[in-house]
């Protein structure tokens, strides 16, 4: 269960993420925590840079790892790297681990 606007929302299996990291933040909270606007976050998702969890109703749920990734993508984008370049960089980092 999680709180959203004063109501309890059941996340169930949709609230679990890879590595058992819980997807618990709705979009408005992700925007506040990351400092990145909702439209940019949706653009990152469309570019394959981010895969948030979903509720049964389809609402995006973000984990702490998602928030870190949003911040990193935003930082790289502010340095002038386009989204395809950012994807290459992040894939290389993941493969190096």
Domain membership of residue 8 as a residue range: 2-96
How many domains are contained in the chain? 1
| Residue 2 φ/ψ, nearest 5 degrees | -145, 155
Which of the four pLDDT bands, split at 50, 70 and 90, describes residue 59?
Answer: very high
Stated pTM of the model: 0.78
Alpha carbon 59 to chain centroid, angstroms: 12
Q: Which domain CATH number covers 53?
A: 1.10.1660.10
Asked whether the predicted pLDDT for residue 40 surpasses 60, the reply is yes
The CB density around residue 62, as the number of other CB atoms within 10 Å, is 24
Distance CA 59, CA 54 (A): 5
């Amino acid at each position: 269960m999680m709180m959203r606007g004063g109501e309890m929302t059941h996340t169930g299996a949709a609230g679990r993420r890879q590595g058992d990291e819980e997807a618990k933040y709705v979009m408005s909270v992700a925007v506040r925590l990351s400092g990145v606007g909702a439209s940019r976050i949706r653009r990152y998702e469309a570019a394959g840079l981010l895969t948030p969890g979903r509720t049964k109703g389809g609402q995006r749920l973000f984990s702490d790892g998602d928030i870190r990734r949003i911040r990193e993508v935003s930082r790289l984008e502010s340095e002038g790297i386009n989204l395809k370049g950012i994807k290459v960089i992040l894939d290389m980092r993941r493969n190096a681990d």
